[in-house]
Amino acid sequence: MALFITYASYSQSGIQGLMKKPEDRSGPIQALLDKVGGRVVALYMTTGTNDVVMISEAPDGADTVAVGMAVAASGSVSKVETVRAWTGAEFVAIAKKAGTLTGAYTPPG
């Protein structure tokens, strides 16, 4: 399965909900990922630009984007960003492929 990193920030209503009923949100998030065949690898509450950083596995990037959209639609987060992550070995293979394509692209102009 592919590995993804998701960054999110709570909305005002999301923070109010957490303050009203403080709880570990990993269960509900895992339940949502279960619906697309994914799993939470790690989930952290953070400070700074993002309130949440999650590492997850899912069969496809469309699955993680759909999960992010579903959570955003709830109004509990103000922004969600999901990026694909590759291991070092996976990225070496990508770099090798890129090397075979060098010079094949004709730039505009």
Q: Which pLDDT value is given to residue 105?
A: 87
Q: 68-105, pLDDT tens digit by residue?
A: 999 999 999 988 999 999 999 999 999 999 999 988 88
Closest CA to 10 of 41, 38, 49: 49
Residue 33 and residue 61: Cα distance in Å, rounded?
12
Query: Over 90: is that where the pLDDT of 53 sits?
Result: yes
Q: 12-22, pLDDT tens digit by residue?
A: 999 999 999 99
Q: Which pLDDT value is given to residue 107?
A: 87
